[in-house]
Structure 1
Amino acid sequence: MTRVPVQPALFTWARQRARLDEAGLRVRFPHLAQWEAGEVHPTLRQLEQYAQATHAPVGYFFLPAPPMEAVPIPDFRTMGQGVPRLSADLLDVIYTCQTRQTWYRDEALVSGETPLPFIGSVTLATPPADAAESIRQELGFSVAARRECPTWTDALRLFIAQAEQAGVMVMVSGVVMNNNTRHLDPQEFRGFALADAIAPLVFINGADSKAAQMFTLAHELAHLWLGQTALSDAAMAQASDHATETWCNRVAAELLVPQAEFRAALQQDEALNVSLQRLARHFKVSTLVLLRRMLDVGWLDRDAFWAAYRAEEARLRALTARNAGGGDFYRTTVARVSKRFAQTLVASTLEGRTLYRDAFRMLGIAKPGTFNELGRTLGFPT
């Protein structure tokens, strides 16, 4: 039986890059410990299976040493600094979104779409309140409009719809493509923006809380208004060492909860839990965003803020766990790839400009029947 000589370090590199449990992998690959020790080499079939399991290109295993991979877009994360290397999941999501963006840009240019004037319309010298007002006006995302929403989760859906209506593709997913075994880690990243005047794109880590998703979308829109591609953690509760991230956080906070209106809505001697619920109904944002805003305006000191933030975060996490459940596959797929992108891709495919195989690849589906049903969900008579 022919064995393939592979440097032992490559097996360890692939396992760690995929963030897979070592014990689980050893069940599937009983000789993994020997491969990593250099005592035994795998067969070609075993190597192909291991590459598939770890989401690594098989060609990488013929290198003399593990490759030095870098984030393919500017990296502004702070929470991920302790992560030893990039995950295969994050890289695959970025590459997938770049492929979708390139396709959409080409299709938009053929259709005669013109550049969006708000991309790159501000700089870091622009006051955050002014930048927030520019986004608010472009999207129509005002406190008054949100007040019509029953809950702040409905306000998040409105926020996404308004961003898409303005021309931004918003993709929200907690997994790689439609692979529900490859879960994204909010501790690695919360979102990223791919700036482009024709095809701007925001990806939001759907494995994060709904509260964080609203703030992430606002934060990534600020990057687009700067005309800047960026990978972010967009943490509500922590300060960033990056001046750009600090500016984007301030824009996001002002967009979601305008400071002047927030100060006017605060009431002395009101219990914190009562205040949070009242303000959540008023601004239609999560209580975590409101706590952050209370810290920003000096209503809470840092110790009080952290105590309240951790308690509220735990409460919302428990609530999310109780309400977790499966959803409609087609609506979930549309959310994962953005409604704007899905509608454009399905139309282009039905009209013969895009091959079905390319559409399937970008949508993460495999069957014509699934594609047709997705088209019907989007209103196409397939």
Structure 2
Amino acid sequence: MPAFRVPVAPSLLEWAVERSGRPAEDIHHRFPALAAWERGTRHPTFNQLEDFAQATYTPFGSFFLDEPPVDEVPIPDFRTIGNVLVERPSPDLLESIFICEQRQEWYRNHSLASGAEVLPFVGSASVESPVVETATLIRDTLQFNAEERANDASWSDALRRLIDTAEEAGILVMISGIVGNNTHRGLNPEEFRGFALSDPLAPLIFVNGTDTKAAQIFTLVHEACHIWLGQTALSDAAMERPGGNETELWCNRVAAEVLVPLASIRRSYRNSPTSDELDRLAKIYKVSTLVILKRIFDAGLLGWDSYRLTYRDELSRVMAILGRKSQTSGGNYYFTHPLRVSRRFAKAVINDTYTGRTLHRDAFRLLGTRKHETFVKLGQQVGVV
């Protein structure tokens, strides 16, 4: 019996290849008949189309449409490039948001069933709220003051402590540089740095783990500002960008004040923005040297012309340092995976599964695991025995 073939509009196939972000030659190499499919002289089999959908990260049902759909970010998008909104989201971004929305929905229902109370800080601020006052409230809630950060041995240690204290406050924090559990699909920090999904019972912050540790710290605090606004948002969380909408500017100002209070930088700064001085202050506050430089300017300790020249030189130095650093990946799965899915979330799912309220198959899907042994070890890692 001949294989069943599926007629697909050539424009959909071309759209899927372009949308995937993968090199077209790689996809054509994997699917030798793709050129014939695009010409309409031959159609893929059902199994071939399923494989093609998986290879291009395309929802299978899209191939039964008459023309390509328009991908839209399902949450408010505040990202800009040159103050222009980013138009086309990648499949990696869309899937990351979808996965987090599923996890948040489960945790919200779990919280309701457990009789949890709403978190008072969610939606407690507005863009008219005083920056210093709001920053103080956020810093206290996150237990992330400058004095303790100065004692952290590294940016990684400070970030890990911030994740833990944010989760203690009730926020689900997910730090990941990949889509779901797929190590072959790395996230691009130039597309997005993080997003917040606000909810009075289950606020969630996702941070792009491919960014530097200093940038991740700033992004996490920036997204926390959106939670304080009670606002779901996709952000680039780039403090050095001068433009942007009112909400993003407010979140940047508050996040900067949380991390590098103006009163503190005025006491700490030694009157010359040399590389050594910027490095010294960045180590104290556990932020990037570019954030330090911006705060020196905000504090009125550096003129505009000097700031622009110094910023240009410092940016070049930072990019050169990043270029020399090798990118590392992997690590201990049982250490990194709870950070990807949120230790608070993983503990709740595993506990709920052991009580019988959540099926193992649903828990595996939510946690991105496949084997029972992995599930058990993850439970041990997050304190469920």
Shared fold (TM-score, shorter chain, > 0.5): yes
What's 1:59 paired with?
61
In the alignment, the residues of structure 2 paired with residue 145 and residue 52 of structure 1 have an alpha-carbon distance, to the nearest angstrom, of: 46
1:306 alignment partner, one of 280, 305, 312: 312
Contact 2:275 2:314 in 1 (8 A): no
What's 2:172 paired with?
169
What letter matches 1:145 in structure 2?
E
Quote the offset at 1:35 in angstroms.
2.1
What's 1:275 paired with?
277
In the alignment, the residues of structure 1 paired with residue 39 and residue 292 of structure 2 have an alpha-carbon distance, to the nearest angstrom, of: 52
Deviations along 1:49-79, one digit per CA (max 9) or x if unpaired, are 1111112222110100011221110000003
> Mean alpha-carbon deviation: is it higher for 341-350 or for 83-92?
83-92
1:186 alignment partner, one of 186, 189, 205: 189
What's 1:357 paired with?
361
What's 2:267 paired with?
264
1:199 paired to 2:202: yes
**Correspondence 1:310-329 to 2 at 5 A:** 310-319=316-325, 321=326, 324-329=328-333
What's 1:50 paired with?
52
**Correspondence 1:1-382 to 2 at 5 A:** 1=2, 2-79=4-81, 85-268=88-271, 270=272, 272-298=274-300, 299=302, 300-319=306-325, 321=326, 324-381=328-385
Residue identity over aligned pairs, in percent, reads 50
Gaps of 5+ in 1: none
Displaced runs of 4 or more, over 6 A: none
**Secondary structure of residue in 2 paired with 1:301:** helix
The CA RMSD measured in Å over matched residues stands at 1.7
- Normalising to structure 1: TM-score of the pair? 0.94
**Secondary structure of residue in 1 paired with 2:151:** coil
What letter matches 2:221 in structure 1?
A
Quote the offset at 1:85 in angstroms.
2.2
In the alignment, the residues of structure 1 paired with residue 117 and residue 26 of structure 2 have an alpha-carbon distance, to the nearest angstrom, of: 51
In the alignment, the residues of structure 2 paired with residue 327 and residue 27 of structure 1 have an alpha-carbon distance, to the nearest angstrom, of: 31
Contact 2:172 2:202 in 1 (8 A): yes
Change (3 A) 1:357 1:38: same
Quote the offset at 1:147 in angstroms.
2.2
In the alignment, the residues of structure 2 paired with residue 279 and residue 99 of structure 1 have an alpha-carbon distance, to the nearest angstrom, of: 40
Quote the offset at 1:325 in angstroms.
4.7
Matched positions, count: 378
**Secondary structure of residue in 2 paired with 1:360:** helix
**Secondary structure of residue in 2 paired with 1:247:** helix
Change (3 A) 1:68 1:223: same
Gaps of 5+ in 2: none
What letter matches 2:349 in structure 1?
L
Contact 1:219 1:252 in 2 (8 A): yes
What letter matches 2:75 in structure 1?
I
